[in-house]
Structure 1
Amino acid sequence: MTVAHPERPTRRPAEDLHDGPRRRVGPLAALDGRLPGPHDLLLMQCPGSLRPLAGGALPPWARAVLRAHPWVTVGRAPVLLAAPTAPGPQRCARDDAPAPDQWIPVTVCGARPGQRLDALAPWAAVARTLRPEQLVARRARLAPGRLADVPALALLPEVDRLVADHRLAWGPIGAVGYELGSGVPVAGPLSPLRLVLRAPHPVSRRDALQLRRALSKLPVPVQAELETRYGAVLLAEYAAGPQALTLLTPYGPREVHDPWFPRGPLY
């Protein structure tokens, strides 16, 4: 006699509450070989593998934050290779291959003032990466009440309309970006709207001034960065047209006259 067994449900690719399949942890390339850049959000497969820049172990508040929401933000600092002065490679508990010698600068933020930790994250322990440009589409996942309570979140479609006139790729960063990426309600009614505008090619000061004026009319404070190939400058500073600009680079701020064609060494 043949016994019928109930059909087993088809197993889906590894997914989690953070929406979508995770990248296989290990030395495989992600993002078409591109390492994460400033303001990207990383979902850590092994949060305990982070190493504070100041040395020592992760503080208790950081461990608690990472256990609940293992998302970190990439900082504007160089990616490090393993060296005697840097943390040695750490093998992720869920990894099936040794970690590569690449350490990403990241920031962990807690709920209380002063809870900010700069650390290094091994690239092998990164499960997912979200760029700011990917976050706007995630607004539809928020509860309707969040849009009513947080003006910065409600205004994203208007920002998209204003920036579209200048054909710049853009995305939210800061508290608004973190909430869109992680789903953690960290933005508040008074949260400013921070934006990164991708500008690999020169933007005229006239266009920058027009965009700054349009954004300044929104009912929330807006701080926008023009991200060039060499670093970022504030949109407001560039639009104002000073002779010298502050270019934020992975090696620290530098004074330049043209953020697209800076002269002299940047590090």
Structure 2
Amino acid sequence: MPVAAEPEPTARRRAHEEHVGGPRRLVGPLAALDGRLPGTHDLLLMQCPSSLRPLGGGELPDWARLVLRAHPWVTVGRAPARVGAPVDTPHPVRCTRDVSAAPEHWLPVTVRGPERGQRLDALAPKAAVARTLRPEQLIGRHALLPAARVAAVPALAVLPVVDELVADHRLAWGPIGAIGYELATGEPVTGPLSPLRLVLRAPQPVSRRDALHLRRALSKLPVPVQAELETRHGAVLLAEYAAGPLTLTLLTPDGPREVHDPWFPQGLRPGPFNR
């Protein structure tokens, strides 16, 4: 008697199950990104990290090669993606595990180094992405870390409390920065004094009153918290928006802009760093 085919939703869930300790078998841009482009702060697992190209040109530094060999995760930056080969790469590297994908769509990413402040901005071909994790998918991953490790890093320990505070405002959220990187990779890159950075998804306007209430609640936590409100046009710091200034700095892929309303940024003007 033939075995009935597994329902598509169940099969899809099984194909996308967590694979702790290594990349998923299902690889390639469609599998890893579900047909969408990654967004700022997404963490990407690269199946051929040697295909990364530094923005400054040349080859990857030795420290970056060592990091990517051990933990081939990179963070998507807030910059425009590029189509075609970077100027210093006349022949883009193709991933032998995914020959059908087009590697000419290059994503802006950052490689995190072992030393404090050690970062490398680079471009990564979309075809080399084996897995993607959005900040929202990292919330419960502290349970995968050793209990002693979570207890030693307050920014990890307070994640369940943050979840409750943000849930009151019905905003999707996720940890970013060093905390997000450790949750994705398991690599202990944070410490007892590490701050907690958050992204709060706010496609619809958030009132100043709600923003102020949330900022005050987060400020009572035993760790420094920096939260970003991510709108459809870019991000604005929660603390800045809650303070109610006449103009705000909106972080966009094309650089910071001064706006009056981050949800309706008419007449965008270059920010102070772009002048």
Q: Report if aligned partners of 1:200, 1:229 keep a CA contact under 8 Å in 2.
A: yes
Partner of residue 101 from structure 1, selected from 99, 104, 108: 104
1:43/1:127 contact within 8 Å kept: yes
For 2:241, the equivalent position in structure 1 comes to 238
TM-score computed with the length of structure 1 as normaliser: 0.89
Structure with a larger share of its residues in helix? 2
Root-mean-square deviation over aligned CA pairs: 2.1
The answer to whether the 8 Å contact 1:22/1:128 transfers is no
- What is the letter of the counterpart of residue 49 of structure 1? S
Partner of 2:55: 53
Cα distance change of structure 1 residues 13 and 249 upon mapping to structure 2, 3 Å threshold: closer
Find the structure with the greater CA-based Rg. 1
CA distance in 2, matches of 1:50, 1:68: 15
| Distance of 1:45 and 1:84 partners within structure 2 | 19
Structure 1: gaps (5+ residues): 1-11
In the alignment, structure 1 residue 170 sits paired with structure 2 residue 186: no
Pairing partner for 1:118 from 99, 117, 121: 121
CA distance in 1, matches of 2:86, 2:269: 25
Give the equivalent residue in structure 2 for 1:7.
none
Alpha-carbon distance between aligned partners in 2 of 1:173 and 1:84, rounded to the nearest angstrom: 27
Assess if the C-alpha contact under 8 Å between 1:249 and 1:266 holds in 2. Answer: no
1:30 Cα deviation (Å)? Answer: 4.4
Letter of the aligned partner of 2:52 in structure 1?
L
User: Secondary structure of the equivalent of 1:33?
Assistant: coil
Query: 2:136 pairs with 133, 137, 141, which one?
Result: 133
Residue 40 of structure 1: aligned partner: 42
Contact 2:258 2:269 in 1 (8 A): no
1:137 Cα offset (Å): 1.5
1:202 aligned residue (197, 200, 205): 205
Q: Which amino acid aligns with 1:112?
A: E
Alignment coverage as a number of residue pairs? 255
Could you tell me which runs of 5 or more consecutive residues in structure 2 were left unpaired when the two chains were aligned: 1-13, 271-275
Q: Secondary structure at the match of 1:39?
A: coil
Kept in 2, the 8 Å contact 1:224–1:235? The answer is yes
- Contact between 2:42 and 2:75, CA under 8 Å: does it hold in 1? yes
Shift of 1:203: 0.1
- Counterparts in 2 of 1:13 and 1:214: CA distance versus 1, 3 Å: closer
Per-residue deviation, 1:22: 4.1
Instruction: Give me the whole-angstrom Cα distance separating, in 2, the residues matched to 1:84 and 1:178.
Output: 26
Contact 2:94 2:103 in 1 (8 A): no
1:20 is displaced (CA, Å) by 6.5
